Structure 1
Amino acid sequence: MGFNISGLVINKNYEKNFNELQNILGWNLIKGEKIDFETASSNWKEENYCDVYFSENGTIIFLNIDYCTSGYPLENVNTLTFGYSEVSMTFLLDYFEKGTEHRSIMEAQGERVFDEGKRLAVEDRFEEMTEIIWNQIEIVLGKNFHQIDNSEVAHRYYFKKKESTDNDISEKEIQINKVNILEPLDVKYFSEDELIEYFNKIVIYCKDNKINFFLHPTLLNDKNKTVVQNIVDIKYYIGSKENLLNVVRPKFPMEGYYMIGKFKKDNVDFKTSKLLFDLIENYKIENIENTKIKTAKVANNKWIEIDKKLDDNSKASDSDFVLLIITIIVLLAFFGGLIYVIYNISTLP
């Protein structure tokens, strides 16, 4: 099955002052049982506990993926947050040096969906995201992950739930937004059903209001920027869970899914993203006949072609891009006419 793990790595051994680390992170943990490293590094953790291993010069905390979608800017130490899923082929990395973000990468299905910051030294030696993550873990932890003996000691800690009453609700709990898509959503508090529900809501809202969610949020005005950032955040959470991808897959072309929020400043990106948004506005696959399914599959192949065009656009000539635009326009017109004819034939008395 392969690795499906996520966690936080710090280049300091906190074994003797773990309470200090808890306070810095804002966590309230109860120390549980001793376990071995094999158990600590096993697949996905539940939200109510974490497993901790101390190397000579570092600390690695294996956490639920919900704790690992953003980095931890701790002063005076270097931190690496990572997610590694060979099930969904989703990989993410967020690296901070002494509280300053240095590198942030996310890759899904072989495509870079997020890539910011200064390149890491390991990226000069390795291209595969899997190798980049393992080697960066070794640099921060001070020990090769795969050379740690499975019988070495680790510790399990449980997150203590805050007790509260109707008359004693923290300010943070009051401010949690799980409803208003026009404001930043606290996606990490979403259930799996809520992730799917609000992904669909935002797609519909963007279609109705002509908000191109393929553009990077920074290219949109403040109101639309927030909406698109919300769908980008939800996309990352869904992308880390294969069961949720299976829910989205029949209703949204995966090639387009991974390009949400991907288009940045290049003029070619603006034009191509508009064409893709036009495609997605008309993309429907529920309750259609086999002939229309075949048509939809042909259209789906265009996503792959355009995505490759996006990756290679620095090498493409202007004439190539004009030809691509013409091809897509002709293809859209052809699909529209074909579906219209099929519909009329199928409704004949």
Structure 2
Amino acid sequence: MSLNISALAINENLQNEVEKLSDILGFELVLEEEIDFETASQSYLEEELIDVYFGELGTLVFCHEDLSVSESYKHPDFQILTFAHSEISMISYLNYTENAKSKRTILEFEGERSIDEGNLLPIEEEEEIDTAELIWAQFEEVFGESFWDIDPNGIVHRFQLIRKPENTKTTTSESPKKEFDKFDFSILLNHEKLKTDYSQEELLELFNRMIRFAQEQKLQIFHHPNNYEAGENIFHRNFYYLKQAIALNPTLEALLQERIPMNAYNAFVRMQKVQISSTENTQMMELIQALRPITLIDKTVQTDKSWWEFWK
């Protein structure tokens, strides 16, 4: 069976301090049930669920891939390893923080690293090691136990994630229920609904609205969501989710790739701040401001530049 896992490891057992885990994740945690480790390690989790294993020296959180790859979890008291590894997609991701400071980030696809940042970890300095091996070595360093030695019958707690309200307001039973707005990206959009409940026209409308908002707020939409603290990256996470939903619609994705100047579409929400110089950042922001609404009948624009050369 192919291994597909997305998770984070913390260097302390937080079973009796679940509120600290809640603070790290940015969600309220509601216990739903107990399962075994083997089931948890093989489960595909929806975004609103996590499975938590409390080891002797650490805490392991299994989560949806979007809660790992699009986030950089930090806490002043802990070492935190956020990671994802898929043998099917051939993707490996590692993000390591120590005492709320970023130390190492790697994103590898089909053996090629598109992100390779920070100082080498001790294990990297000792020997040449591939990204997958590095993930498991660093996991053992943080968690205090090899992933492969964990008892498959060990107890895992499944929690429902409830987003913490930014502002607590008193409401009455007479208050009208807010109607669902597909285009309200001020809150975190439902990743799965974006893929299943939005038409091609609605995805394009949402894209145009988000571009217009980015222009008004002067947002750098080339930044990956993990450039920002959890809770402060809602716009970038929503844009990241939107691009994933658009990727399931080849016609729409091709249109955007053709209509966005200099093949820049593929670079949206993919880049780390350290990859962008001040000059390039200025040119990117000018490109963002130059974007205009796109319709389904727009004509193709040809360019021979690759997405990573869009600022040249």
User: TM-score normalised by the shorter chain: which range applies?
Assistant: 0.5 to 0.7
Distance (whole Å) between structure 1 residues aligned to residue 124 and residue 189 of structure 2: 29
Relative contact order, higher structure (CA 8 A, sep 6+): 2
Distance (whole Å) between structure 1 residues aligned to residue 203 and residue 96 of structure 2: 27
Give the alignment of 1:1-349 within 5 angstroms.
Answer: 2-15=2-15, 17-22=16-21, 24-25=23-24, 26-30=27-31, 32-35=33-36, 37-68=37-68, 69-108=70-109, 112=113, 114-124=115-125, 125-126=127-128, 128-149=130-151, 151-159=152-160, 167=172, 179=183, 185-187=186-188, 189-190=190-191, 191-193=193-195, 200-201=204-205, 204=208, 223-225=217-219, 229=223, 233-234=237-238, 236-237=240-241, 245-247=247-249, 249-253=253-257, 257-260=265-268, 262=271, 264-265=276-277, 302=304, 307=308
Name the structure 2 match of 1:339. Answer: none
Aligned-pair Cα RMSD in Å: 5.1
Distance (whole Å) between structure 1 residues aligned to residue 242 and residue 86 of structure 2: 12
Name the structure 1 match of 2:228. Answer: none
Give the 3 Å change call, closer, same or farther, for CA 224–238 of structure 1 in structure 2.
same
Post-superposition Cα deviations, 1:271-296, rounded to whole Å, max 9, x if no partner, equal 89999x99x99x999899xxx9xxx9
Distance (whole Å) between structure 1 residues aligned to residue 267 and residue 54 of structure 2: 38
Asked whether the 8 Å contact 1:103–1:119 carries over to 2, the reply is yes
Distance (whole Å) between structure 1 residues aligned to residue 19 and residue 280 of structure 2: 50
Classify the secondary structure of the residue corresponding to 2:247: helix
**What is the TM-score normalised by the length of structure 1?**
0.56
Taking every aligned residue pair, what percent have the same amino acid on both sides? 24
Post-superposition Cα deviations, 1:31-60, rounded to whole Å, max 9, x if no partner, equal 52241x221111421234322223332110
Q: Which has the higher helix share?
A: 1
Classify the secondary structure of the residue corresponding to 1:156: strand
Distance (whole Å) between structure 2 residues aligned to residue 86 and residue 197 of structure 1: 34
Q: CA deviation at 1:90?
A: 4.1
Classify the secondary structure of the residue corresponding to 2:219: helix
Distance (whole Å) between structure 1 residues aligned to residue 51 and residue 266 of structure 2: 31
Asked whether the 8 Å contact 2:54–2:156 carries over to 1, the reply is no
Asked whether the 8 Å contact 1:123–1:132 carries over to 2, the reply is yes
Asked whether the 8 Å contact 2:183–2:206 carries over to 1, the reply is no
Post-superposition Cα deviations, 1:155-175, rounded to whole Å, max 9, x if no partner, equal 23232769x99637xxxxx9x
Asked whether the 8 Å contact 1:40–1:154 carries over to 2, the reply is no
Asked whether the 8 Å contact 2:35–2:158 carries over to 1, the reply is no
Q: Highest CA radius of gyration, 1 or 2? A: 1
Q: CA deviation at 1:206?
A: 8.7
Distance (whole Å) between structure 2 residues aligned to residue 63 and residue 147 of structure 1: 20
Give the 3 Å change call, closer, same or farther, for CA 246–126 of structure 1 in structure 2.
farther
Q: CA deviation at 1:74?
A: 2.4
Give the 3 Å change call, closer, same or farther, for CA 3–267 of structure 1 in structure 2.
same
Post-superposition Cα deviations, 1:74-94, rounded to whole Å, max 9, x if no partner, equal 232211222333444444333
Asked whether the 8 Å contact 1:52–1:61 carries over to 2, the reply is yes
Asked whether the 8 Å contact 2:45–2:64 carries over to 1, the reply is yes
Give the 3 Å change call, closer, same or farther, for CA 106–199 of structure 1 in structure 2.
farther
